Amino acid sequence: MKKSSRYISLILVLTLATSLSLLSCGGGGGGGGTSAINGNVADVMTAMAPIKEKPYMLALIKDFFSFSKKANAQGSEVEGIEVIAEVDGEEVDVDITDGNGNFVLTIPGGGNVTLIFNIDGFIVSIQIFAPEGTVVNIVVALDQVEDEVIVKELEIDGTFGCETGAIIVAKAEDADFVIDGEGGDCIRVGGNCTLNIDPENIILTDCERCIRAEGTSEVMLSTMDGDISCDASGDGISAVGNAVVSLNASGSGDIAISGGENGISAVGTSEVNLFATGGIDIFGGTNGVEAKGTPLVDLNGASCIIEGGESAFEIEGDAMVDTIDCPPMP
């Protein structure tokens, strides 16, 4: 019987609330129609029986052979592990770890993927999400004592996006969530898609736009223990139509947004909400905040720095920008 990890770290305990359709767009690393998983098993933790539970001489003999076996296996305990990728219960790819614990898998169409690790009949599994057209870089440790997979690092190269349905990326302790847009949008949602990400630090880097939300979509990035950072060549956050974008750093974290054009661009009847227990820092090469039509931009933090190459705020129509709960940095 396959054993699932009791906690699936870093990201991707995914709950698909409705049918999910992913975008294969902008800067995708894995190529259209597929996603790739570049993985590494960094460690395999095994159980050892306490000496006090065994007769003294037997304990010494067993410990000697256990030590010898482990000493001979140093550097190779991560080699030869079978890694199977399943989608909807069907095997789509398989690989064997090399001497450094590396493995590579290809996922047709991307999506919700179960990774199964087989160490000489000991089996543990974890479910992750591999957006279509992206490369998922993942580092794990396999714990044979607790029967679990611990994700130590995870980064997505390419655009994380959806058109319909709901994606929930669950909280994991001491783990960051990194999306490298590779020059394309880091997060793009449209239609009635809902995306909720809740790891430790949330890092969006090398983006054209960190977040592009359209239609009636909703994006929420939240962390109880870390910061949220965004680095984009275009708009940092772009919300159009009736889209809602919410960033929440409610522990002691900060929110930092840097855009080559606007830090925040809210158009139509969209809504952008930023809350940080720490500070909020917004910079745009053109405007810090652009609001056109009847959107709402609400900034709530212990302090704020809002800067633009041309102006801090560009407000047109009946747009509302509320900074009452975000005083200027002293």
Would strands 21-22 and 160-164 be described as parallel, antiparallel, or unpaired? antiparallel
240 near 216, Cβ under 8 Å?
no
List the 187-189 sheet strands across, edge first.
Answer: 21-22, 160-164, 187-189, 211-213, 237-239, 262-268, 287-293, 311-315
- The pLDDT value recorded for residue 172 is 58
Count: domains in the chain: 1
Residue 167 domain-assigned (yes or no): no
Q: What distance in Å separates the CA atoms of residue 119 and residue 82, rounded to the nearest whole number?
A: 7
- The pLDDT value recorded for residue 41 is 96
Paired tokens of 47: 């159980």
pTM: 0.78
Residue 20 domain-assigned (yes or no): no
Residue 122 domain-assigned (yes or no): no
- The pLDDT value recorded for residue 286 is 98
Q: What distance in Å separates the CA atoms of residue 107 and residue 113, rounded to the nearest whole number?
A: 8
Structural domain of residue 204, as residue ranges?
A: 176-330
- The pLDDT value recorded for residue 67 is 38
Task: Please name the amino acid found at residue 309.
Answer: G
Q: What distance in Å separates the CA atoms of residue 219 and residue 194, rounded to the nearest whole number?
A: 6
Any idea which residue has 């699936």 for tokens?
8
Residue 202 domain-assigned (yes or no): yes
Q: Enumerate residue ranges in the chain where pLDDT < 70.
A: 1-32, 47-76, 170-173, 330
- The pLDDT value recorded for residue 173 is 65
- The pLDDT value recorded for residue 118 is 95
Residue 187 domain-assigned (yes or no): yes
Residue 89 domain-assigned (yes or no): no
Would strands 218-223 and 244-249 be described as parallel, antiparallel, or unpaired? parallel
Task: Please name the amino acid found at residue 207.
Answer: C
Residue 91 domain-assigned (yes or no): no
Which of 192, 244, 253 is closest to 17 using CA atoms?
Answer: 192
CA 169 to chain centre: 7
- The pLDDT value recorded for residue 131 is 86
Residue 321 domain-assigned (yes or no): yes
- The pLDDT value recorded for residue 330 is 66
Share of the chain above pLDDT 90, in %: 60
